[in-house]
Structure 1
């Protein structure tokens, strides 16, 4: 078993919001359900749910590349030894990740803030 760690980043066009780095944020439009406590599911290659957790508090982050509302997550007790894993935030589709990625950091990004 291992802890799968990662983040959902909802990309924001620079200058399109009054939020400042470090402020609390949540998703809008298609990702209106992206907020503290939103379900994050982990699936095996057959599509069966094998672990779950929730999004942490959204935090607005900015750097030289742009800006995003970022939600970190940690899914505890994920079974080890699979070649790939599926990760789904809310009901926004399953993202397939390699075992290596699942064991280091899962980055999910979308431009739908």
Structure 2
């Protein structure tokens, strides 16, 4: 049975977040946590918290099951664009340059590989 965790309006551009999320897509949960721990990006901390939340959600759905025994893996991981804060920066000759402060939405789905034993 799969479990979902979502992170909405994370104040980082989606492009930067996708670099980290692409590293863990399809990996086993233990390996994904190690990858995130040693990734030298600021957003890796947020994705690590989100992955731990998804693991806890899976444990709540499957009471009595342990993630180590059931080969839990990251089934899907998506990053979508969130809201944009639009600001103006002063520019030469009285003009203004637009700054778009981007945010994103991340969705992680974890699932176990041996579903035959659960049914």
Structure whose CA Rg is larger: 2
Please confirm whether the aligned pair reaches a TM-score higher than 0.5, indicating the same fold: no
Where is the helix percentage greater, Structure 1 or Structure 2? 2
TM-score (norm 1): 0.35
Instruction: Write 1 or 2 for the structure with the bigger share of strand.
Output: 1
| TM-score of the two chains, using structure 2 as the length reference | 0.34
